[in-house]
Structure 1
Amino acid sequence: MPAAPLTAADLGAPLGDRLTFLQFSTGFCAPCRAARRVLDRVVDTSEGVAHVEVDVADHAELAERFAVTATPLVVVLDPQGAPLARLAGVPSLAQARAAVSTLG
């Protein structure tokens, strides 16, 4: 994972006060839509947690920086934008909530 933290300017959206789920997706990816629903549900019930979804086609430099080879890929960021964990595929609700409780 990259050493340099990401900023709101890098993502085009604000970072969460506790943590941010950065989701790499593609427009044609059905599992990406499922991941979005899971992460949005966690964000709706967790204070200070943000979800930012980026399309790899529009953010190729970020995708390269995180070595994205398949979507969805979720990178959990701390409040300063430093990566803490990677979740490949569609995270379960339990996995996403565990990330918030253990990392956030």
Structure 2
Amino acid sequence: MMGAPRRRRNGGARVSGHDGGPRVDTAVLGGRPGERATLLQFSTAFCAPCRATRRVLSEVAAMVPGVAHVEVDAEAHLALVRALEIESTPTTLVLDADRRVVRRAAGVPRRADVIAALGEAI
């Protein structure tokens, strides 16, 4: 169905979307999305690359006005992980102001790549 909204419910995780990518509900983000964009990071407790990713995303969010970095514990939010098809940690989703996924990446991102991805979201 080209252009038709897609809605999935999986254990309380609500994700909807259009052709531009799924949209993540504000409730999932704990009411903390960025005004212009959100860097949504999926992590696990003992993941060393997750700590490096947290550092990069936090630095970029601090540099760019209206951008928030939100970290989600993948193990504690399995329904959301399944709904967004997260396969490994760290995984970063770049959300635009409407909380639509515009880019995604697995592994530790480079600062320049995060900034470039934000260019698509803003």
**Match of residue 9 from structure 1:** 27
Runs of 4+ with >4 A deviation: none
Look up the SS of the partner of 2:88 in the other structure.
coil
Q: How does 1:1-104 map to 2 (within 5 A)?
A: 3=17, 4-104=22-122
Unaligned runs of 5+ in 1: none
Opposite residue 81 of structure 2, the aligned amino acid is A
Give 1:76 shift. 0.7
Highest CA radius of gyration, 1 or 2?
2
Opposite residue 5 of structure 1, the aligned amino acid is R
Closer, same or farther: CA 75–2 of 1 in aligned 2, 3 Å: farther
The TM-score, its normalising length taken from structure 1, stands at 0.92
Higher relative contact order (CA 8 A, sep 6+): 1
Opposite residue 91 of structure 2, the aligned amino acid is L
Counterpart CA distance in 1 for 2:53 and 2:33 is 19
Aligned-residue CA RMSD (Å): 1.5
Counterpart CA distance in 2 for 1:29 and 1:11 is 21
Give 1:9 shift. 1.1
The TM-score, its normalising length taken from structure 2, stands at 0.79
Unaligned runs of 5+ in 2: 1-14
Look up the SS of the partner of 2:116 in the other structure.
helix
Report how many residues are paired: 104
Counterpart CA distance in 2 for 1:28 and 1:2 is 30
Identity %: 44
